[in-house]
């Protein structure tokens, strides 16, 4: 009986520490993403509010308030900033930044650029992305 109680207590401790670690890792991930976005602080020279779609990412909507951008694209929540003529976005799920992107408006009105995994865009690991306004 004492052995079962000891095992149960050990399991509770392991799960508790794991939950704290996950909470701490999530907070660090979000803070790193916020830090990356804070690097881009020019006045916004375009507005991205509207309904958008991408063949690879799906449909979604963006809302811009001053320079701040929020919304969704496919299964991801989106947050970001407009700085000058560029849009810096992060794609999140369950409060975890999975991807970061740098986009510019094309002459046709789409947003085109590149994304990479992680909290800040990595040009060495970039993949193309284009989203078009509906």
Residue-by-residue DSSP string for 4-46: HHHHHHHHHHHHHHHHHHHHHHHHHHHHHHHHHHHT--SPB-S
pTM (two decimals): 0.84
Say if 1 falls within a structural domain. no
Say if 108 falls within a structural domain. yes
Say if 3 falls within a structural domain. no
Total number of domains constituting the chain: 1
Q: Which domain, by its residues, includes 124?
A: 36-133
CA gap 19, 14 in Å, rounded? 9
How many beta carbons lie within 10 A of that of residue 44, not counting itself?
18
- pLDDT tens, position by position, for the chain (134 residues)? 666 555 555 545 544 444 556 889 999 999 999 999 999 999 999 999 999 999 989 999 999 999 999 999 999 999 999 999 999 999 999 999 999 999 999 999 999 999 999 999 999 999 999 999 98
């Amino acid at each position: 009986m004492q052995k079962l109680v000891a095992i149960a207590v050990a399991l509770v401790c392991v799960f508790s520490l794991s939950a704290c670690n996950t909470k701490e890792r999530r907070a660090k991930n979000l803070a790193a993403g916020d830090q990356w976005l804070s690097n881009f602080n020019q006045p916004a020279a375009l507005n991205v509010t509207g309904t958008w779609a991408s063949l690879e990412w799906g449909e979604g909507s963006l809302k811009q308030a001053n320079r701040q951008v929020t919304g969704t694209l496919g299964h991801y929540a989106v947050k970001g900033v407009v700085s000058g003529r560029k849009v810096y976005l992060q794609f999140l799920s369950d409060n975890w930044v999975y991807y970061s992107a740098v986009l510019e408006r094309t002459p046709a009105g789409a947003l085109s650029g590149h994304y990479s995994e992680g909290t800040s865009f990595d040009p060495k690991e970039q993949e193309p992305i284009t989203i078009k306004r509906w």
